[in-house]
Amino acid sequence: MKTTLIVTTYNRPDALEAVLKSIEHQVAMPDEVIVADDGSRDETRQLVERYVAGFPTKLVHCWHEDRGFRLSEIRNKAILASTGDYIIMVDGDMVMHRNFVRDHIMLARPNQFIQGSRVLMSQQLTDEFLHKNDKIKLCWCTKSIKNRLNAMSMKGLMRCVSKHYGQKGVDGVRGCNMSYWKADVEKVNGFNQDFVGWGREDSEFVVRMLNNGFQRINAKFGCVGFHLWHPENKRSEEELAENDKRLAEALENKVMTCKNGLRNL
């Protein structure tokens, strides 16, 4: 199984660098890493270029022009550029436990997709980590984290508990830590590019995955990601209302694919 790790980012090179460093320390290395860049300034491109030569696996920068929040579209472009059979997708502020990639691969099964969780870091811990991350070890006992149970990485428990754990519908969807088979993503036509502005694009994608018969597995005691603090996203009430409407329509109509997705690029 060939694996692609996609990291989404937008104008936060300090966080992205911390994520790239966490990839360098993975016990199981993905076959390629694609930075899906939703229009960042040149500093992000320069950062990726600095890492390419010495990176332990193939590293690609996938960028498009900044025309507002177009997360669905840049995700689709990265998926199209990927060569892996299996895709792990994280946000560019999710620092990965060293077992992160290994755990996603271990849980991968046909007709399933994985929903990982996140460990919330405080603003103070985030600031300290970004300035001296080589000296701060992130683990379940680190001070100033929330969701402490989510920080525990135990392979045996993960394999036993994950398939039975948590809600299997659309609630609690977090696109910042997910994985799925590329062929399954192609079947639902990827992410819906009608979603612009923040919100609900992950949930609508999962609705279509579930409607196609793919089972949601919630990773527990594994697939650990530490979420660097950032201010809450400023939401446009008008955009969010439109996105809520699209999600409601997908649920009501049992939508299985989207019109404006992978095949439209």
Reported as a single tens digit per residue, the pLDDT across 165-221 is 766 888 888 889 999 999 999 999 999 999 887 778 999 999 999 999 999 999 999
**CB of 39 within 8 A of CB of 64?**
yes
* Axis-axis angle for helices 123-132, 13-24 (nearest 10): 70
**CB of 108 within 8 A of CB of 179?**
yes
The helix or strand, by DSSP H or E, that contains position 90, with its residue range, turns out to be strand 86-91
CA distance 105 to 222: 11
CA distance 38 to 63: 6
- Per-residue pLDDT band at 162 (split at 50, 70, 90): confident
Identity of the residue numbered 114? I
Cβ neighbours of residue 1 under 8 Å, at least 6 residues apart?
85, 86, 105, 108
Query: Under DSSP, is residue 135 helix (H, G, I), strand (E, B) or coil?
Result: helix
Beta pairing class for 112-115 and 177-181: antiparallel
Nearest Cα residue to 159 out of 114, 206, 96? 114
Q: Which two tokens stand for residue 171?
A: 């609630």
Tell me the mean pLDDT in the region 20-39.
Answer: 97
Domains of the chain: 3-264 (3.90.550.10)
Say whether pLDDT at 91 is over 90.
yes
Q: Which two tokens stand for residue 134?
A: 């080589």
Q: Which two tokens stand for residue 4?
A: 């692609």
Say whether pLDDT at 238 is over 80.
no
Proportion of the chain above pLDDT 70, given as a percent: 96
- Per-residue pLDDT band at 62 (split at 50, 70, 90): very high
Say whether pLDDT at 233 is over 80.
no
Q: What residues form DSSP beta bridges with 32? A: 4, 58
Cβ neighbours of residue 61 under 8 Å, at least 6 residues apart?
34, 35, 37, 44, 45, 48, 49
Angle in degrees, CA 48, 49, 55, rounded to 5: 75
Half-sphere exposure of 181 (CA within 13 A, CB side): 14
- Predicted TM-score (pTM) of the model is 0.94
